[in-house]
Structure 1
Amino acid sequence: MATGRAAKKAEMEAEKVAEKKKMEARKEEEIRIKMIPIRLEIEAWMARDHLPDNMKEQIINFIQHRLEQNKDFDIEKPILHLSKDLTTEIKRHICLPLLKKVVPNLAIQGDQNLLEQICESLKPKYYNEDIYILQVGEPLMMLFFTQGSVCCFKTSNGENRMGMDSDAQYIEKYEIWGEELLEWGFNCSSAHKKLVPISTKIVKTTSKVEAFALTANDLKKLLSMHT
């Protein structure tokens, strides 16, 4: 009798284990299917921004782990859903070379640590087409563009048919707008730093745009840690 009960118990335990394995297999298959379109989009994004292979692997693994935890992932705004460490690596990889191009006349040129901290302070931004990022007189932002393009212009009585002046400037992928913010932060006296620089032009998207932004407040916060 006892032997029969033990055998029955063992059989039930085996059935539970088998059912658990089936559920795990179903979940793995669901994740695999869900990852197919996400992986295609993410691999295209990673290739577009020339991310190194080791970083690509970490990103794919992170996304898969996130899906396994039943968390959503927005392929239109991937950086918003990645870990802080991965986001920091991406910002350094993309923005540090751009930053080094605009600091040759600043005292921070050779300060690799400070340049990396500036990159870490950048915030990801996503804009649709025909959106005004900045208006004349608004606090200036430094923008590192990674996708899309914008037009920077002043309104005047001499506007052309597009409502832009003849000196309109187009900023595209892997270009920077607003580097005057760094000059204000690192070259101005303490008294002048109380006055946040303002935009002297309108900045409007001409397509969908992805960028990283540095605000005056974030720069001031960073500088306060180095004084």
Structure 2
Amino acid sequence: MQTYLQSTTVRLEEWRIKRTDTEQWMRHRQLPPELRLSVRKYDQYKWLATRGVDEESLLKGLPMDLRRDIKRHLCLDLVRRVSLLLAILFLCSNQMDERMLDAIL
């Protein structure tokens, strides 16, 4: 538990440093306020989504079969939902206008 907290604290500090560097760069490049806000929102979104963990580099260090199993676990629900949507579209395709199907697909 202590290692996890230390790791989280280190990542949070790295994120703060990166955010400070980004702010200085945006000031130096004289980005307009709306662009600065967009960059800040993106940084915030990325932090909330990953908590500072670079999943791609973490996965690259693992064997291929383990990577596949992890990705399958993480994406299985999404794949099932897409498959369900495609099945519904297929069943309803006889009743839909062709242009509507083109717009969806």
Q: Could you state the TM-score of these two structures normalised by the residue count of structure 1?
A: 0.18
Greater RCO, 1 or 2 (C-alpha within 8 Å, sep 6+): 2
Q: Could you state the TM-score of these two structures normalised by the residue count of structure 2?
A: 0.34
**Greater per-residue strand proportion:** 1
State which structure, 1 or 2, has the greater radius of gyration over its C-alpha atoms.
1
